[in-house]
Amino acid sequence: GAGVSQTPSNKVTEKGKYVELRCDPISGHTALYWYRQSLGQGPEFLIYFQGTGAADDSGLPNDRFFAVRPEGSVSTLKIQRTERGDSAVYLCASSLQMQDTQYFGPGTRLTVL
């Protein structure tokens, strides 16, 4: 079946702009996770959802970052007033239940000029 998909695959924006990154999880998966990977590093946790609610948003770096999952399926990560330090690959993962295997999407490469 289809895996986790993310759009866009690449996003180039200017400092100060607003961006939205989308994640479509595997159908039927109740848990959805966002991670961020900088060059040469392992992915770092941002936020995860169980159903529609954010179960843990402790990884969001500041209040410019926000994520939603209004119907318990697709999720959008929103970044306001982007900064050059936000440049990274943003990864989404989903799992059937929270304790199950997490499957990752291909990521969105965000570049802030």
Partner 1 sequence: GIQVEQSPPDLILQEGANSTLRCNFSDSVNNLQWFHQNPWGQLINLFYIPSGTKQNGRLSATTVATERYSLLYISSSQTTDSGVYFCAVSGGSNYKLTFGKGTLLTVNP
- Report, in Å, the least distance between residue 105 CB and partner 1: 9
Which residues have a Cβ under 8 Å from the Cβ of 75 and sit 6 or more positions away? 22, 23, 25, 32, 34, 49, 67, 68, 69, 92
Phi, psi of 85 (to 5 degrees): -70, -10
22 or 109: whose CB is closer to partner 1?
Answer: 109
Taking the C-alpha atoms of residue 25 and residue 46, their distance in angstroms, rounded to an integer, is 16
| 43 belongs to the binding site for partner 1 (CB under 8 A) | yes
- Candidates 24, 35, 54, 69: give the one binding partner 1 (CB under 8 A): 35
Q: Which residues of 16-30 are buried (b: 16+ CB within 10 A; e: fewer)?
A: eeebebebbbbeebb
The footprint of partner 1 on residues 84-113 (CB under 8 A) is: 89, 91, 93, 95, 98-104, 106-107, 109
- Candidates 11, 25, 33, 86: give the one binding partner 1 (CB under 8 A): 33
**Binding interface with partner 1 (CB under 8 A):** 31, 33, 35, 41-45, 48, 55-56, 58-59, 89, 91, 93, 95, 98-104, 106-107, 109
